[in-house]
Amino acid sequence: MMNFQIRKFYYGDIPDSNSGGDPIDAGSEIPPLGGGGAWPLWEVFIRSKQGLDHKHVGSLKAADAQMAIENARDVYTRRMEGVSIWVVESKYIHASNPDEAESLYDPANDKVYRHPTFYDLPDEVKHM
């Protein structure tokens, strides 16, 4: 059998080796991103309506908090999706490690008595 494959290309999955446009020498004319490269990443939380929690909706880059809120307004609330916006610089988010999930959540695993369905009550008991 021939050791030969035709790659399968989906929309949005064209190999980079098939260069598009007018290729220019790597690194010659393209100056690095000025300024924008230094903008930090922010996480955006939106309250969709009064009375509900703020919910994480995505992230964006901005020079400062005010700009992050304005950009979040433009990107995430164009269709009245929110009444309040929180932004926080992504570097301040601390996350649990998925590799430790087993031990981290293990203590909750065997405590079925924390759920109301654990308790068997006679049908005559109403409103409980």
Partner 1 sequence: MSVHDLENLFQQKIDEEVKIEPKDWMPEAYRKTNIRQISQHAHSEIVGMLPEGNWISRAPSLKRKAILMAKVQDEAGHGLYLYCAAETLGMSREEMINDLHSGKAKYSSIFNYPTLTWADMGAIGWLVDGAAILNQVMLCRTSYGPYARAMVRICKEESFHQRQGFESLLVLSKGTDEQKAMCQDAINRWWWPSLMMFGPKDSESTNSDQSMKWKIKRKTNDELRQQFVDMCVEQVKLLGMTLPDPALKWNEARGHYDFGEIDWNEFWNVVKGNGPCNKQRLDARRKAHEEGRWVREAAAAHAEKRKASLNPSKGGTLAAA
Residues lying near partner 1 in the complex (CB under 8 A) are found at 5-16, 18-24, 26-27, 30-39, 41, 57-61, 63-64, 67, 74-75, 78-79, 95, 97-99
The least distance separating partner 1 from the CB of residue 117, rounded to whole angstroms, comes to 25
Residue 20 or residue 107: which is nearer to partner 1 going by CB? 20
The least distance separating partner 1 from the CB of residue 1, rounded to whole angstroms, comes to 12
3-state DSSP of the chain: CCCCCCCCCCCCCCCCCCCCCCCCCCCCCCCCCCCHHHCCEEEEEEECCCCCCEEEEEEEECCCHHHHHHHHHHHHCCCCCCCEEEEEEHHHCCCCCHHHHHHHHHHHHCCHHHCHHHCCCCCCCCCC
Residue 25 or residue 120: which is nearer to partner 1 going by CB? 25
Residue 31 or residue 122: which is nearer to partner 1 going by CB? 31
The least distance separating partner 1 from the CB of residue 109, rounded to whole angstroms, comes to 18
